[in-house]
Amino acid sequence: MSEPEASKDWVNPLRDSRDKRLPRIAGPCALVIFGVTGDLARRKLMPAIYDLANRGLLPPGFALVGFARRDWRDQDFGTIVHDAVREHSRTPFREDVWDRLAEGIRFVQGSFDDADAFAKLASTLETLDKERGTSGNHGFYLAIPPNAFPLVLKQLSDAGLAQSEDGQWRRVVIEKPFGHDLSSARELNAVVNEVFPEDTVFRIDHYLGKETVQNILALRFANQLFDPIWNAHYVDHVQITMAEDIGLGGRAGYYDGIGAARDVIQNHLLQLLAFTAMEEPISFEPSELQAEKIKVLSATRLAEPLDETTARGQYAGGWQGGEQVCGLLDEDGFASDSTTETFAAITLEVDTRRWAGVPFYLRTGKRLGRRVTEIAVVFKRAPHLPFDQTMTEELGQNALVIRVQPDEGVTMRFGSKVPGSSMEVRDVNMDFSYGQAFTESSPEAYERLILDMLLGEPSLFPVNAEVELSWEILDPVIERWAASGKPEPYEAGTWGPPSADAMMTRTGREWRRP
């Protein structure tokens, strides 16, 4: 839906609006959060909104509305937001910023099946439009379980909150999971798009808001250094890893029956693959960026046979961080015969001229050796013709490693001569760290994504086609695993089950140990 220029985003008229380095400030708007009593809202969303306000990126009349069943008044909700901000915000707490933000905080009590509550929500937003100048621009953040989406969306539609008039916008934000397989994803997309057109739907994948993920685009397309070797002629394989050292205590209600593949590979890791393997877009306009990601995902397929090119596991008890921890089957809420995998690894191939023959290895797991997310582009070995074997016996393969978290940055691994009279070559690392190179700390992912939604900037949000293509890729693995019994156990604090190592050994490769 087209929008008049004045309603998109406000730019200081004293500055040159053509300068892309200047921050964009959201225009007049209100944000409604469903699920404000949940952990996500308290730890991430409310602090992110304050941090945006603290950075001067929200309009003076911005309004925040909470919707929940609690018997709260506006000031009660304001206290909840205040406490969440003081505990979890990234930027320093400033009373003047908080006071301005608090003026626009409202709360509506009601359940999702209460039509009167949604009528009250509509009335509250109408009042805010007049009092705060929010101009009928409303975003709705569904920080709720997916099974509640249809009811909430219908209520928003019935209350007239999903429809916009000329000069206004209405947008909806959806948290993952985007379905649990291809069929349910298509059904969910249909339910959402029945109420909100696709260009007003923002599916949050918080990994895409991380500074280092966006830096993949800068690294690849702003530097001539990497483009000539970013292809099958020079790249041996790519490893994309998201490892966590924590277990699943207290998360059985969400995780049991979902598993690592659905939880992480379908969204986070396949999106990282798309950024790594995509062709250069014509521009960074959302439609161009999304088109290139869709092309890559359309060309991505599972390597066969699945019994040899995939692996899954379930953590058992062991020692981690100096303490003894229990296995998944002993965690509260998990059945003693649960077949939910906590480790998943798959091998993918991208059937394009650039990547033909280059395997992409994706893995994720709980209770692994350490917390790390990285993309490792591992290059083919040099011929070493001038050297004899003893000179290079300790030399590994060159690699470019993009560290997404926790130590954001980029590492290059290459061979260098060891000081001395003999010719001996060993691996050395050249390291770039965000924390050391820039004085300003990276914004939290939710800061970037919430602001992009308020600005109507969908570049970092997966569209329908991306979600459905991801499920098309993953569904055969999940079906195969469902028919093959229990996952293989692995000791907590290690890097996964033996089958994951065997999966790599078959091709003469090995996993990185970050």
CATH of the domain at 83: 3.40.50.720
In the chain, the N- to C-terminal Cα span, in Å, equals 46
Confidence of residue 118 (pLDDT cuts 50, 70, 90): very high
Residue 162 and residue 213 in one domain: no
d(CA 344, CA 225): 34
Report the pLDDT value the prediction gives residue 74, as an integer from 0 to 100.
Answer: 83
pLDDT value for 440? 65
351 belongs to a structural domain: yes
- Say whether 361 sits in a helix, a strand or coil: strand
Query: In which domain, by residue range, is 266 found?
Result: 209-505
Confidence class for position 242, pLDDT limits 50, 70, 90: very high
- The one-letter amino acid code at 437 reads A
Neighbours of 130 (CB within 10 A): 8
Q: What is the C-alpha separation between 199 and 66, in angstroms, rounded?
A: 24
pLDDT per residue as tens digits for the range 362-371: 999 999 999 9
| 435-446 residues labelled b (16+ CB within 10 A) or e (exposed) | eeeeeeebbbbb
Does 176 or 302 have the greater pLDDT score? 302
Q: Which residue of the set 82, 180, 268, 384 is catalytic?
A: 268
Structure-block tokens of residue 470: 């991801």
What tokens appear for 174 in the block? 């959806």
In a domain, 203, yes or no: no
User: For residue 311, is pLDDT > 70?
Assistant: yes
Mean pLDDT of 201-208: 86
* 170 and 213, same domain (yes or no): no
Say how many domains are in the chain: 2
pLDDT at 82 over 50: yes
- CB atoms under 10 Å from CB of 422, counted, come to 8
pLDDT at 206: 81
Q: What is the mean pLDDT of the chain?
A: 89
pLDDT band at 389 (very low <50, low <70, confident <90, very high): low
Q: 138 and 74 in one domain?
A: yes
Closest by Cα among 172, 74, 173 to 131: 74
- For residue 365, the surrounding DSSP H or E stretch is strand 359-365
Please report where in the chains the tokens 């690294």 appear, as a residue: 219
| pLDDT tens sequence across 143-201 | 998 889 999 999 999 999 998 888 899 999 998 878 899 999 999 999 999 999 999 99
CA distances, 298 to each of 239, 248, 438, 509 (Å): 20, 33, 37, 26
pLDDT of residue 394: 63
| CATH number of the domain enclosing 383 | 3.30.360.10
Query: pLDDT tens for residues 423-480?
Result: 777 777 888 887 777 766 667 889 989 999 999 988 888 899 999 999 999 999 999 9
Query: CA nearest 169: which of 505, 486, 514, 454?
Result: 454
CA distance 511 to 229: 22
**Are residues 463 and 439 in contact, defined by beta-carbon separation less than 8 angstroms?**
no
**What is the pLDDT, as a whole number, of residue 426?**
73
Whether residue 489 contacts residue 313, with contact meaning beta carbons closer than 8 Å, is answered with yes
Strands 105-109 and 323-325: unpaired
Q: For residue 204, what is the enclosing H or E element?
A: strand 201-204
Q: Quickly state the pLDDT bin for 4 (edges 50, 70, 90).
A: very low
User: Does pTM top 0.95 for this prediction?
Assistant: no
CA 423 to chain centre: 45
Residues 22 and 70 in one domain: yes
Predicted local distance difference test score (pLDDT) of residue 418: 79
Q: pLDDT at residue 40 above 60?
A: yes
Q: Are residues 365 and 461 in the same domain?
A: yes
pLDDT-derived band of residue 207, with 50, 70 and 90 as boundaries? confident
Phi-psi region at 169: left, alpha or beta (left = phi > 0; alpha = psi -120 to 50): beta
Q: Are residues 165 and 224 in the same domain?
A: no
Q: Are 315 and 490 in contact (CB under 8 A)?
A: yes
Domain boundary among 153, 175, 197: 175
pLDDT attached to residue 71: 87
Cβ-count burial 164-189 (b if 16+ within 10 Å, e if not): beeebbbbbbbbbbbbbbbeebeebb
**Residues 478-497: pLDDT tens digits?**
999 999 889 999 999 999 99
Q: Does 233 participate in catalysis according to the annotation?
A: no
Whether residues 213 and 71 share a domain: the answer is no
Last residue of a domain, one of 128, 154, 175: 175
Which residues are bridge partners to 362 per DSSP? 240, 346
For the chain, the residue count is 514
Q: Which of 21-25, 224-228, 275-279 has the highest mean pLDDT?
A: 275-279
Distance, CA of 175 to CA of 145 (rounded, Å): 9
**Residues 117, 218 share a domain:** no
Q: What is the pLDDT of residue 393?
A: 60
For residue 89, being part of any structural domain is answered with: yes
**Tokens 């950075």 label which residue?**
55
Partners of 403 in beta bridges: 374, 409
Residue 373 CB contacts under 8 Å (≥ 6 apart), including other chains: 207, 241, 242, 243, 403, 404, 405
Burial 80-95 (b: 16+ CB within 10 A, else e): bbbebbeebbbbeeee
Task: Identify whether residues 248 and 164 lie together within a single domain.
Answer: no
Q: Interior CA angle at 385 toward 383 and 390, to 5°?
A: 95
In angstroms, the CA 112 to CA 71 distance is 15
Same domain, yes or no: 169 and 254: no
